[in-house]
């Protein structure tokens, strides 16, 4: 029974993602990311079906969730390959990542408190600029929902890569290094893909920034958890 | 040959994560095992204890399928939607507001830092 659920959940995930990738390629709109299309299509399907279907899917998705662990470790490689960028721009990189991460989390907390956002939503929103595999590990740590975290992280990536480049141009931020650092820090992998479309140097800046932002916010979450327990 | 190499490297990355998970469980530290595995792998690469080619094809394979691996947690949001009820607009405002302010501040700071570098 369990093996059947695993096979079914894996096949369903692969088929849905593949179909949505085809749709995106045909529509050629980078905002219609295959993950967005798959979550909307799959989410609509599961909310129409009796809840036992989603229960079976969740039980069957255990091995895929486990794979997120080694995949998180694999993020070391893209960073390692661009270590020359960090050696060349150490202070600019650290400054942009620290200031960008601290500002965005500060605004999440201030605006969230002002608008009365409940705890789990506030915690999920705090993780929005962390690359998703790391954010999901942190979500478990700070006791917030993985689905909400996925949605928060993903919307930051999509909206950030759509509004970021024109906003930076209007601000006079023209250096590819600065643009890549901003897109990587605030919009992780999706922002980095957008930065790479502009310039290879921007793409390298994005990869370094997204990894450092994840380590910085991850370190912060771990320290806060240790202090509060 | 290539498939075998990728398979072995996937096993290696899996074993690294499993070791980190058991270390975290034993230590009782609040640390996501995946993040620890990332740090360990990065340290191994930087100290040249492990050459990049020993994990390259396995890591690339994992990173290629990574977006699809987000689908199970993403679909779990169907069960969590009740938490958002009544707070949808506030959540959207927080997400967009914090993102744009973050981009503005980081952009100005990064551009100024780049100009200082050039001097």
pLDDT in tens, B15-69: 999 999 999 999 988 899 999 999 999 999 999 999 999 999 999 999 899 889 8
Regarding whether A67 and A124 lie in a shared domain, the answer is: no
Regarding whether A86 and A44 lie in a shared domain, the answer is: no
* Nearest beta carbon to residue A117 from set B73, B94, B111: B94
Q: How far apart are CA A85 and CA A176, in angstroms?
A: 12
Residue ranges covered by each domain of chain B: 2-69
pLDDT at res. B1: 82
ipTM of this predicted structure: 0.92
pLDDT at res. B21: 94
pLDDT at res. A33: 85
Contact B91, A162 (CB under 8 A): no
pLDDT at res. B78: 86
Three-class secondary structure of residue B11 per DSSP: helix
pLDDT at res. A103: 97
Cα torsion B86, A228, A75, B103: sign: positive
Q: Within chain A, which residues score under 70 in pLDDT?
A: 30
Regarding whether A115 and A59 lie in a shared domain, the answer is: no
Q: What is the 3-state secondary structure (H, E, C) of chain A?
A: CHHHHHHHHHHHHHHHHHHHHHHHHHHCCCCCCHHHHHHHHHHHHHHHCCHHHHHHHHHHCHHHHHHHHHHHHHCHHHHHHCHHHHHHCHHHHHHHHHHHHHHHHHHHHHHHHHCCCCHHHHHHHHCCCCCHHHHHHHHHHCCCCHHHHHHHHHHHHHHHHHHHHHHHHHHCCCCHHHHHHHHHHHHHHHHHHHHHHHCHHHHHHHHHHHHHHHHHHHHHHHHHHHHHC
Regarding whether A69 and A100 lie in a shared domain, the answer is: no
Q: How many domains does chain A have?
A: 2
Cβ within 8 Å, pair B35-A138:
yes
Single out the residue in A74, A96, A128 at which a domain terminates.
Answer: A74
Regarding whether A86 and A36 lie in a shared domain, the answer is: no
- Chain A nearest-CA residue for B81: A148
Give the residue from A76, A110, A126, A190 with the most B CB atoms within 10 Å of its CB, the best one to mutate: A76
Regarding whether A117 and A219 lie in a shared domain, the answer is: yes
B117 has pLDDT over 90: no
Regarding whether A69 and A13 lie in a shared domain, the answer is: yes
Regarding whether A192 and A137 lie in a shared domain, the answer is: yes
- Chain A nearest-CA residue for B101: A104
pLDDT confidence tier of residue B76, bands split at 50, 70 and 90: confident
pLDDT at res. B81: 87
pLDDT at res. A35: 87
pLDDT at res. A208: 96
Cβ within 8 Å, pair A91-B80:
no
pLDDT at res. B118: 80
Regarding whether A158 and A67 lie in a shared domain, the answer is: no
Average pLDDT score over chain B: 93
pLDDT at res. A221: 94
Regarding whether A199 and A115 lie in a shared domain, the answer is: yes
Name the residue range of residue A182's domain. Answer: 76-228
Regarding whether A104 and A44 lie in a shared domain, the answer is: no
Regarding whether A112 and A56 lie in a shared domain, the answer is: no
Average pLDDT score over chain A: 92
């Amino acid at each position: 029974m369990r093996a059947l659920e695993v096979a079914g959940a894996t096949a369903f995930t692969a088929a849905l993602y593949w179909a949505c990738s085809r749709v995106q390629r045909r529509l050629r709109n980078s905002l219609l990311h295959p993950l967005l299309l798959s979550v909307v299509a799959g989410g609509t399907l599961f909310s129409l079906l009796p809840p036992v279907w989603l229960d079976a899917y969740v039980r069957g998705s255990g091995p895929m969730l486990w794979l997120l662990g080694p995949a998180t470790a694999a993020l070391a490689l893209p960073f390692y390959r661009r270590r020359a960028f960090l050696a060349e721009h150490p202070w600019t990189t650290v400054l942009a990542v620290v200031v960008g991460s601290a500002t965005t989390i500060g605004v999440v907390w201030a605006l969230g408190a002002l608008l009365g956002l409940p705890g789990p939503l506030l915690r999920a929103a705090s993780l929005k600029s962390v690359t998703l595999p790391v954010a999901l590990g942190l979500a478990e740590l700070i006791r917030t929902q993985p689905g909400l975290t996925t949605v928060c992280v993903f919307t930051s990536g999509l909206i950030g890569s759509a509004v970021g480049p024109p906003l930076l141009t209007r601000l006079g931020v023209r250096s590819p290094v600065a643009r890549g650092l901003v897109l990587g820090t605030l919009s992780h992998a999706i922002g980095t893909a957008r930065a790479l479309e502009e310039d290879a140097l921007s793409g390298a800046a994005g990869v370094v920034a997204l990894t450092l932002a994840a380590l910085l916010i991850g370190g912060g979450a771990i320290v806060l958890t240790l202090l509060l327990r | 040959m290539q498939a075998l190499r990728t398979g072995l490297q996937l096993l290696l990355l899996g074993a690294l994560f499993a070791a980190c998970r058991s270390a975290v469980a034993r230590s009782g530290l609040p640390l996501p095992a995946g993040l620890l595995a990332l740090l360990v792998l990065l340290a191994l690469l930087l100290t040249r204890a492990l050459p990049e080619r020993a994990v390259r094809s396995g890591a690339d394979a994992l990173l290629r399928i990574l977006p699809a691996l987000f689908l199970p947690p993403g679909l779990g949001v169907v069960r969590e939607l009740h938490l958002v009820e009544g707070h949808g607009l506030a959540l959207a405002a927080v997400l967009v507001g914090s993102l744009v302010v973050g981009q503005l501040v980081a952009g100005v700071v990064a551009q100024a830092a780049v100009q200082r570098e050039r001097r």
